[in-house]
Chains A and B, each alone.
Chain A
C-alpha cells in the first residue's frame, strides 16, 4: 500500500517538475523571440515599396529579412537563410543584422558589408553552420540594382516586361576564409517602377501530397501568369495552397519596387553629443592612389568626418549621394577610362561592370583626389568639395548641353549631381568637379 502511495507521490512530483520546466523554457523562448523579432524584422521593411511574407516554421523563423535605407537614399535588402531552424539559426542572425544596419547607415557598399558579414559568421559559427544570403542595393537614382547571391534560390528582376534570374554565384556566407571570399556583385539596370522578387528555398521545397516538390517550374508559371506585381506574393501563396503542400522549411518572399527616394525626408542620424563641439574652419586633401582605389572605399570615412560639422548634418543624404557620384565618376570614367555609353541595355551593363573589375584589378597608376574645405560664413558656413582624377577628362561643354534627367541608363552621374547640387561645376578639362553646400545659422 505504502509503495503505491510513494509511486503516486513521485509521479505527481515529476508532473509538476515537467510543467515548471516547460513553462520556464516557453517563457525563455518568448523573451528571446521578442528580442529576435526586434533585431531581425525592423528597418524599413514597412516602406510602401516593399511587400513581404514570412511564415515561421518554428518559433524562430530561420529566415532573416532586413531592409534599410542608405544615407544617399538607396535601399539595401537582405534575405538570408541559416542552416537549421529555431534558436541556433536565430543566434547567427543577431550579429548579421547588426552589421547590416550599422554599415548601411554609415554608407558602406555591398562589398564591404559582405566581407564583414562573412568574416564575422566564419569566426562565430561552427563549421557545419552557414548562411545562404541574397543581398541587394536598389538604386532608383542610379537606375540599377546591385546583387550578390550566395546559396539562395534564383531571385527575379522584372524590368519592362522582361524577367532576369538572379542566380546564386557564390558559396553561402560563413564558409570561406576572408582571404578567399568573393564579394563580387552583379549590377543590372533597374528603372523606377521595376521590381525584384526574392524567395527562400522553403517556397520551392514545399512538399505536395505525393512527396513532389513545388519546384522552380511551378513558381515560374505563377510569375508568367502574374499581371499585377503587387499581387505576386499572394498568388504564389495561393499556388502553394492549391498544391496542398506542407512547408518543411521556413517560407519567405519579398518584393521590392524601385522608387525615387524623398531625399530630404530621410532623417539625419541623431548624435549624442551636446552640439557644441563642431569643427568649423579647416581643410583637408586626400589623394587615393592605385593600390588604395583597388580595394578601399574611402567614402564612409570622409562622410563620417563631414558629419562632425553640425551644420551639414541636415544635408547628409544629399552630400552622401553627390560625393558618391563624384567619386565613382572620377574612378570609373576618369582613372579607369570606362565609357558610360557601354551601359545601354542588360548586356552592356554586364560588360561595363566586367571591364570595371578587370581594369581595377590591373590598375598600376592613377589617383582620385578629394579636397574638402569648411569655413564660417556669418552665422552659418559652407563646405566646398573638389574631386579630381588623373584621367583623360571629358568634353564638359558637350555634356553640360545635354538636358537633365532624360530617361536613359548611361551618363546618370553628372545629371544626378546637377539635380542634387545646382551649383556644381566642372573644370574646363573635365578632370575636376566642384560642389558647394552651405548652411545658415543653427537653431
Chain B
C-alpha cells in the first residue's frame, strides 16, 4: 500500500503515511485514508518520510484533507518531509495553513 493510515489507541490522532510519488495517482487512496473517519480525529499527521516527490495536485489533496478536518479549526501536521518536498511546500507558503516540520 502506498498510502497507509493508522489511528492512535486513544483515537485522538490519525497518521497518514505516503510512499513514493505523492501526485494525482494517489488521489483516491489518500481520500480513503481519512474519509472513513467522520468526524476525523482532532489531530492529523501526514508523514512524508517515504514520499519522493510532491506535485501541485498533492497540494490540492492536502487542502481537501484540511477542509475535511475542519478548515481553519483543523490541526494538521506535515512531518518528515525531504528538503525537496519542503521547498515545494515553501514556495506555495503552505506553512501558513499547515504545521510543517
| Interface residue total, chain A, C-beta cutoff 8 A | 19
Do B60 and A171 have beta carbons less than 8 Å apart? no
Do A175 and B56 have beta carbons less than 8 Å apart? no
How many residue pairs, one in A and one in B, have C-beta atoms under 8 Å apart? 42
Residues of A contacting B16 in the complex (Cβ-Cβ under 8 angstroms): none
Q: Is A151 an interface residue (CB 8 A)?
A: yes
Q: Is B43 an interface residue (CB 8 A)?
A: no
Option from B57, B91, B96, B97 in Cβ contact (under 8 Å) with A128: B57
| Interface residue total, chain B, C-beta cutoff 8 A | 14
Do A83 and B60 have beta carbons less than 8 Å apart? yes
Dominant secondary structure at the A interface: loop
Q: Is A185 an interface residue (CB 8 A)?
A: no
1/0 per residue A356-381: CB within 8 Å of B?
00000000000000000000000000
Query: What is the CA–CA distance of A151 and B87 in the complex, to the nearest angstrom?
Result: 11
Residues of B contacting A284 in the complex (Cβ-Cβ under 8 angstroms): none
Residues of A contacting B33 in the complex (Cβ-Cβ under 8 angstroms): none
Do A129 and B60 have beta carbons less than 8 Å apart? yes
Do A127 and B63 have beta carbons less than 8 Å apart? yes
1/0 per residue A175-211: CB within 8 Å of B?
1000000000000000000000000010000000000
Q: Which residue of A lies closest to B68 (CB)?
A: A127
Q: Is B2 an interface residue (CB 8 A)?
A: no
Do B67 and A127 have beta carbons less than 8 Å apart? yes
A151-B91, A169-B93, A171-B96 as given contacts; A84 in contact with B63, CB under 8 Å: no
Residues of A contacting B59 in the complex (Cβ-Cβ under 8 angstroms): 83, 130
Q: Is A150 an interface residue (CB 8 A)?
A: yes
Do B57 and A171 have beta carbons less than 8 Å apart? no
Question: Which residues of chain A from 54 to 68 have a CB within 8 Å of any chain B CB?
Answer: none
Which A residues are closer than 8 A to B by beta carbons?
Answer: 81, 83-84, 127-130, 132, 150-153, 168-172, 175, 201
Known: A127-B67, A130-B63, A151-B93. 20 other contacts (CB 8 A): A83-B56, A83-B59, A83-B60, A127-B60, A127-B63, A128-B57, A128-B60, A128-B64, A130-B60, A132-B56, A132-B92, A150-B93, A153-B91, A168-B92, A171-B92, A171-B93, A171-B97, A172-B92, A175-B97, A201-B91
Report 27 cross-chain contacts, Cβ distance below 8 Å, ordered by A residue.
A83-B56, A83-B59, A83-B60, A84-B56, A84-B57, A127-B60, A128-B60, A128-B61, A130-B59, A130-B60, A130-B63, A132-B56, A132-B92, A150-B93, A151-B91, A151-B92, A151-B93, A152-B91, A153-B91, A168-B91, A168-B92, A171-B92, A171-B96, A172-B92, A175-B63, A175-B97, A201-B91
3 nearest CB pairs, A to B: A128-B60, A151-B92, A83-B56
Which B residues are closer than 8 A to A by beta carbons?
Answer: 56-57, 59-61, 63-64, 67, 91-94, 96-97
